[in-house]
Amino acid sequence: MLQQKARKATAATEEKPRKGIFGMTFYLKKDKCPPRDKTSSATSTSHKGKAALSVKEDSIHCTKRALTEVMKTSRPHQENYCKNKGKLTASVISSPMESSVDYEEDMYRDAEEIEREKVLLVCGTGSSDFPENKLSVEPEVDIMDYCQEEWRGNTSHAKHIRKGYEAVSRKFISIRRVRGDNYCAVRATLFQALSQATQLPDWLQREDMMLVPERLMVKYDWITQWQLRQKWTSKVENLMEEIKECLMLLKRKWKNMSEIKILSERQAACDELFKSEEDEYRLYEAVKFLMLNIAIKLYEDNEKEKEVPVFSWLLFARDTSRNPSQLMENHLNQLGHTGGLEQVEMFLLAYALQHTIQVYRLYKYSTDEFITLYPNDPEEAWPVVTLITEDDRHYNIPARMCEETSL
C-alpha cells in the first residue's frame, strides 16, 4: 500500500510524451539502438545476456542527421526529396537484408528454445506440440521486480535501463512479457487494442473492407506472391479467400471484445484469444494485409503528388522497398519469420489499426525520445496503446496504471 501511494505521489512528475525526435508534425525516428551491454559478466545471471546486439553508432548518428535535414525542408524541398529519394544509401535507411541476422535469433528466448524452433522449422512441425510455447502474453508481474530480475548488472547501461523502469513504474504497476518471435510489435499492439476495445472501429465497419483483397489482387498481380505464414498458395482464388477470412476473423473478434463491458472479463477473453495459436496468427495475417493496403495508398498518393507523411517517403526510400511490391516481398512476407518491424514500419502499423502507439523507450531515458508516439501528431479520435521497449527491437506491455490501483 505504501508503495502504491508513493507511486501515485510521484506520478505527477512523470515525463510527458514528446512529439517525436524533431517536435514537428512530421513523424520520424531513428532506426536501431546503440549497442547495449545488459549485465556485467561478473555479477549477472540474467538469461538475456546470452545474446548481444551490435550496431554501429556512426550509422545511427548519420541517420539522425539525414532525417533532421528532411524535417527542415520546405514543401518544394520535400518534393525534390521525393524525386531523389532513390539516392538514399543504406547508411540512412537500414534494410532487412542487413538486419535480418539480428532478428533471426531472438535475444528474448534462451538458446534451447531457439534451437528447438529451428528443428521445428526444418521438420515442418507446428509449435502446438510444445504447449509451453503457446503463451503469447505472460501474466502480470510487478514491473520493478521484473526490472531487478532482468537487469542485475552494474554496467552504466544496466543502471540507465533501471532508471527507465523506475520512471515507468510511477505510471504503471505491472508488466506483461510478450513472446519474442518477431511478431512481438504486432502482437503487443493488437493485444492492447483488443483488450481495451469498447466499440468496433469505423474502418472495420465499412462494407468495402472485406472487398479489399479482391480489389487489390485484381489491380496488382504481384500480390499473388503473398505468403500466408511463410507458405505459398497456388491458386489466387484460395489466397483471396484466406485473406478475406483473416479480415473477417479480425472484425468478428474485435466486435466480440468490444461487447464485453467488464474490463476484467475482456482481459480474460483476450488472454484466451492469444492462446489460440491458429486464430492468433490469422489475426496477424489480417494486420499485415492492412499494412500493405495503407502502404499502397500512401505510395499512390505520393505518385499523384498528394501530401503524405514523411515516414512514407522513408518507407519507400529503402533499397528493399522501393515500391509496395518490394515492401511485401522483403518485409511483410518476412514479418514474424526472419524479421520483425523496423522503426519506420511502426508508423505503418499505427496507420493500419488507426491507433496511436505510445512507446516507453527505456534506453532513451532522460532524453526527449524516452516517450515516443507513432505517429507523433496523431488524430485525436485514435485510441492509444502503450508499449515498453528496452532496445527498439522487442516490445512488452505495461499494465495497471497506478491511479487505478490507488482507487
Determine which one of 102, 181, 391, 392 is catalytic.
Answer: 181
Residues 6+ apart with CB under 8 A from 231: none
Q: Residue 246 catalytic? A: no
| CA pair distance 175, 320, nearest whole angstrom | 35
Q: Residue 355 catalytic? A: no
| CA pair distance 140, 130, nearest whole angstrom | 22
| CA pair distance 257, 57, nearest whole angstrom | 43
Q: Residue 181 catalytic? A: yes
**Residue with the three cell numbers 496504471:** 401
CB 22 within 8 A of CB 71: yes
For 395, the enclosing helix (H) or strand (E) is strand 395-401
Determine which one of 102, 270, 394, 402 is catalytic.
Answer: 394
Determine which one of 184, 246, 270, 402 is catalytic.
Answer: 184
236-258 and 263-273 are packed helices; what angle lies between their axes, rounded to 10 degrees?
160
| CA pair distance 112, 174, nearest whole angstrom | 27
For residue 331, what are the CA distances in angstroms to 106, 182, 320, 326? 17, 12, 8, 8
Q: Which amino acids are annotated catalytic?
A: 181, 184, 394
